[in-house]
Amino acid sequence: MNTTELTTTTTDSVHAAADTVVAASGHGGEENQFAQLLHHVFDSNEIEIPFVGHVHLPHFHPVEIFGIPFDFSITKHVVFLLLSALIICVVLALAARSNRRNVIPRGFGNFIEVFVVFIRDEIILPNMGTAGLRYLPYLLTTFFFILVMNLFGLIPYGASATGNVNVTAGLAIVAFFVIQASAIRAQGVKHYVTHLTGGVHWSLWIIMVPIELLGLFTKPFALCIRLFANMMGGHIVIVSLIGLIFIFKSFVIATLPASFVIGIGLLEMFVAFLQAYIFVMLTALFMGLGIQAAQEHGDGHGH
């Protein structure tokens, strides 16, 4: 199942749940209200701007590459993805400029420095050693990029691009190439290819090599699905709880799901930071496995 089919399946499932809620309410008038909630979760070809209303985004005809259609249309998630990239470029550039002027970081520059030091000392050095410091810019960029996209899903009129499996798949693909590149750089091409045999007799290579190759792809797949499911799941829970208000239509009962929505909203803020941390942590861990394999290979030859 490709990413488009996975997104379609997830969308159909939640829309079916929405139809169930509307049917249970007994009136079709709530359908439009519930649809407004779903717009916050799913991607669309329009974006809602305060005091302006709905703005239709540019739509292009799909382009076929090797017989596979690719849609390069600008969607809501693409807008917030690009906006997140712009924000981190501007904000982090200002923080870096501030830290260059001050020997001891102060203010906002000091706040960003906390994340930099944490990722360096608590993620990179324990998992990758000093050899992993060259990958600090990539891991920092990934962390802040995912964090900003996650936080956009918590503000009015916003949307979390990481709730789109195509976005998380793109992040995972980049991570896959960086993981393999770091392993090849540390081990060398010969040892990297050799490790795919698992060190077993050549007669077992026909079994071991496919297993090792499958293992290379399961790591980024886990990164993709973990981030997508966690960010999408929280929004769906909130939409489902608000849907209970439409079902019972009681101010007394509505206070319970409303209080749960507030609690989950606060939890989602924690999850936004947590999922950015987990993605970077696992990426550094997978990179560290390749780097440590090179060090063990070198120690073996040394003895």
Q: Where are the alpha helices (DSSP H) in 119-204?
A: 125-128, 136-152, 165-187, 189-194
Span 207-262, pLDDT tens digits: 888 888 888 899 999 999 999 988 888 888 887 888 787 787 777 778 888 888 88
Domain that holds residue 256: 3-43+75-302
Q: Does 63 map to a domain? A: no
The predicted structure's pLDDT at residue 301: 53
Domain for residue 67, yes or no?
A: no
CA distance 272 to 71: 28
Number of domains in the chain: 1
Residue 164's contacts (CB-CB under 8 Å, 6 or more residues apart) are 7, 43, 77, 228
Question: Which pair of tokens denotes residue 70?
Answer: 């690719």
Q: Where is pLDDT greater, at 209 or 4?
A: 209
Distance CA 109, CA 93 (A): 10
The answer to whether residue 277 scores a pLDDT higher than 90 is yes
Smallest CA-to-CA distance from 43 within 189, 153, 179, 203 is with 153
Residue 54 inside a domain? The answer is no
Residue 292 located in a structural domain: yes
Average pLDDT taken over every residue of the chain? 81
Percent of the chain with pLDDT over 90: 30
Tokens of 210: 């496919």
**pLDDT 10s digits, 165-186:** 999 999 999 999 999 999 899 8
Residue 64 lies in a domain: no
Lookup: tokens for 81:
């993805």
φ, ψ dihedrals at 200, nearest 5°: -95, 175
Residue 58 lies in a domain: no
* pLDDT over 80 (residue 82): yes
How confident is the model over 6-26, as pLDDT tens digits?
444 444 544 444 444 444 444
Structure pTM? 0.81
Task: Indicate whether 209 belongs to any domain.
Answer: yes
Decide if pLDDT at 139 tops 80: yes
